[in-house]
Amino acid sequence: MAADRLVNYGVEERIGIVTINNPPANALSSTVLNELEEVIGEIERDDNVRVGIITGAGSTIFVAGADINEIKTLDSSVKGEDFSTKGQIVISRIEDMKKPIIAAINGHCLGGGNELAMACHIRIASELAKFGQPEINLGIIPGFGGTQRLLRIAGHAKAKELILTGDMITAKEALSIGLVNRIVPPADLLKQAKELARKIASKGKIAIEFAMDAIKTGMTSSQEDGLKQESRLFGKICETADMKEGIAAFIEKRNPDFQDK
């Protein structure tokens, strides 16, 4: 990709690695959102990519929020709603992907950054990371999904506390409320994110996609509908060559060789 881009992208061992590089805060400007959307499309289209990782450039900031200089120009409800909707569309597209996306949170993860991380399917944080929705301190509210995803992840009470106070929390507290899956030493962050991505990428593509589909249905529908979708997908996967290979490999005590068929 061009050197002047704010969102860098590369592929390594079937892992699409996305780095937001918009110093000093890696802010989510309209340009960053547009480039991020382009990269998401590349991950979706590339059959060689099984898993994505999103991280921030540098060692202290994942994404510290939306672009304040751009927000201060939003002097009408139409402009504000358009900006919010654009961010929601891009971030929701990540959440809706069939391929798992891991957030490797290397530092401050605030406002739009926390909203971006929450849309990722798995979140690994540096021990030095800080989390929050500080929009209330600017006289505004979260606009990229923070009022919705945070309450679903952390619960109503904690979401209200964080959104209404604008307070930051540590990685340790983020782990305790389910906002991140694990915390690791800063130097090990990307290494552990890649190890996890490789483990997932080694599984069958069909099983990954079906599992993601079933989980998404369960998150957006009733349990009854989720169970029906699980059964439907389980039935479909029983007709695949990968299912036969996986069972055979287990019985023969060897690693499976999935062919995505």
pLDDT for 39-69, tens place per residue? 999 999 999 999 999 999 988 999 999 999 9
Q: For the purposes of burial, counting CB atoms within 10 Å of the CB of 8, is it exposed (0-12), middle (13-18) or buried (19 or more)?
A: middle
3-class DSSP state of 238: coil
Please check whether residues 73 and 119 belong to one and the same domain. yes
Residues 55 and 134 occupy one common structural domain: yes
Q: What is the reported pLDDT for 69? A: 93
Q: Are residues 105 and 59 in the same domain?
A: yes
**101-122: average pLDDT:** 98
**Residue 181 and residue 234 share a domain:** no
E runs forming strands in 76-229: 101-105, 108-110, 122-126, 130-132, 168-170, 182-184
Q: Please check whether residues 190 and 215 belong to one and the same domain.
A: no
Burial 228-259 (b: 16+ CB within 10 A, else e): ebbeebeeebeebebbebbeeeeeeeeebebe
For residue 144, the domain's CATH number is 3.90.226.10
pLDDT band at 2 (very low <50, low <70, confident <90, very high): low
**Do 147 and 244 belong to one domain?**
no
C-alpha distances out from residue 55 to 63, 214, 232, 234, Å: 8, 26, 35, 33
Active site residue 38: no
Contact present, 195 and 95 (Cβ < 8 Å):
no
Q: Are 188 and 247 part of one and the same domain?
A: no
Sheet strands (E) in 146-222: 168-170, 182-184
Is the distance from CB of 132 to CB of 114 less than 8 angstroms?
A: yes
Is there a single domain that holds both residue 215 and residue 179? no
Domain span at residue 234? Answer: 205-251
- Looking at the fold, whether 113 and 228 belong to one and the same domain comes out as no
Whole-prediction pTM: 0.94
Which of 201, 224, 240 is the last residue before a domain boundary? Answer: 201
Q: What is the DSSP pairing of strand 122-126 with strand 7-12?
A: unpaired
128 and 223 both lie in a single domain: no
Per annotation, catalytic residue among 13, 42, 44, 135: 135
Is the pLDDT score of 229 beyond 70?
A: yes
Active-site choice (115, 195, 209, 224): 115
Q: Are residues 180 and 75 in the same domain?
A: yes
Asked whether residue 159 falls in the same domain as residue 216, the answer is no
Residue 2 lies in a domain: no
Q: For residue 220, is pLDDT > 60? A: yes
pLDDT of residue 10: 97
pLDDT(3) > 80: no
Is 42 among the residues known to form the active site?
no
Contact 120, 94 (CB under 8 A): yes
Number of structural domains found in the chain: 2
d(CA 155, CA 178): 9
35 within 8 A of 86, measured Cβ to Cβ: no
